[in-house]
Amino acid sequence: MSRTIQAQELKSILGSKGVTVIDVRRKDDYAADGSAIPGSTWLDPAQIDNWSSSLPADKEVVLYCVRGGAVSNSVVDALQAKGLKARFIEGGITAWKEAGGSVEQK
């Protein structure tokens, strides 16, 4: 499985029962923006050890941060090491918005 997914590809599978979308922006970045990909859940990347075991092993997990950089990469590494099917959006929520993806206010 690829480590990344393009925003356009996620748009085509969003809402599928086989995909869990997780916002892993740092707490300050999440609070500063207030928007999120519909259906996503924010989980603090600094607390990954507390929540990673609750993720479904039978579903793909798609993560995003602000720009798809260090935060998403480190969380994908940790989740893949636990055997989960995880990847992140190339370019993060910024690329999602640029691709015309809808957002909701949290």
The full set of domain ranges for the chain reads 4-105
Beta bridge partners of 23: 42, 64
Q: pLDDT (tens digit, 9 = 90+) per residue, 27-85?
A: 999 999 989 999 999 999 999 999 999 999 999 999 999 998 899 999 999 999 999 99
CATH of 4-105, one of 3.40.190.10, 3.10.20.30, 3.40.250.10, 2.60.40.1180: 3.40.250.10
pLDDT at 65: 96
Name 94's Cβ contacts closer than 8 Å, sequence gap at least 6.
Answer: 66, 67, 68
pLDDT confidence tier of residue 95, bands split at 50, 70 and 90: very high
Chain mean position to CA 106: 15
* pLDDT over 80 at 16, yes or no: no
Task: Please name the residue that has the structure tokens 């949290």.
Answer: 106
